[in-house]
Structure 1
Amino acid sequence: MRTLTEKTQTDTSGQITRPFYLIELVMASATYRWSSRQTVDWNSQTWTQNGVQVDELRDLAGGAQEGRISLPNHDRAASALVLAERINGRPIRIWQLYGDAPHAIDDAVALFDGYCDGAPNVAASRVSIEITSAGMENEDAPRLRWELFSSHIPPSGTVISWGGEHYRLERRG
C-alpha cells in the first residue's frame, strides 16, 4: 500500500480529479520524456507536453501488465521515430501525477515499467505502440539490438577460416 503525499491527497480530494501521465521512452538516439497534459519539471527532468496518451493499461495475472500508448503524428515525427529506431524492445516507464506544479519526487506514482512490444500501428494522425511489462512471457527475449552487429558484416570477397576450412564471402544474386 502506498502512502500519498500531502500535495497528492489535496489534489485528489476534489469532486473531479484528472491525472496526467509522464512517459519515458529510451531509444537509441535519445531518451524521450513526455507529459500527457502540460510541460512539467519533475525528478530533475523536463517532461514535454506533446499530445502523448496512455490509451490502455491492464493488470494481468502474476503482476504483469500490458497496454498501449499513442503519440500525435500530424507532422510525421512520431512515425519517423518509431520506424527509424525500431521501437520493439525499447524500455518504457509511465508515472501518474495529479495537480499543478511544483511536484515532489514522491508525488508521482509509478504505473508501468516495461518494453514496447511488437510493431507500431502508424496512422496519419497518431502512432500507437503496444507495451508490456517485464513480467510477461517476452521477458527472456533477447534485448540485443541488430544495429549493434549490422555494421560489422565483412565485405564481399573476405576469406574466413573456420575449422580448418577457408570460406570466401560472396554477394547473393
Structure 2
Amino acid sequence: MATESTTNESMQAQLQQGGIVGGVLLALLGLLALFTPFITGLALSILLGAALVVGALIHVAAAFSAGSARGVLWQVVLGIVYGVVGISILANPILGLTTLTILVIAFFAVEGIVQLVWAVTGAGSPLWLGTSGVISLLLAGMLLVGFPATALWAVGVLFGVDLLVTGITMALHGRSERETTVSETTAEAAG
C-alpha cells in the first residue's frame, strides 16, 4: 500500500511539474508571438491552409465509403471546396491572414452584440456581460477602422495574448496544485 501511495504521489508531482513547465513554455511562445505578430499570423494562415488541404484529402477518401451516389457527390464537393480554399491560402498566405482578420472582426462584433442583448434581457450578470459586450464591440471597431493594416498584426497579437494568458494560468495552476499537495503531505505526516 505504501509503495502504491508513493507511486501516485510521484506521478502527481511529475504531472504538476509538467503543468508548470508547459505553462512557462506556452507563455514564452505567447511572448514570441506578441513580438512577431506578422510572422505568427502568416504561420497560422499557412497552418489553416494546410489543414484545409488535409481536410480535402479526407473528404475525397471518405467519398469511397459514402455508401450512396449522393453521399459520394457531397464528399467530393466538400473535398473540392476544402482543397480550393486551402490551396488558395497556401498560395497567398497574406490573403488568408486578411480573411482570418475579417473573421476575427465579425466574431468580436457578433459576440459584443449577443452579450449586450444578454445583459439587457437580464440574464446573468448585466454589468459584466455589458462591459464585455462593449469591449468586444470596441475591439471589432478598432480592427475594422484600421483594416486592412490590422490584418498584418491582429491575428498574431490575439494568438500571442491567448498563449501568454493560457501559459501563465497553467503555470500558476500547477504551482497551486503542488503547494496544495505539499501542505497535504505535511499534514498527513504530522498527523
Check whether TM > 0.5: no
Using CA pairs below 8 Å that are at least 6 residues apart, which structure has the higher relative contact order? 2
Larger radius of gyration: 2
Query: Which structure has more strand as a fraction of its residues?
Result: 1
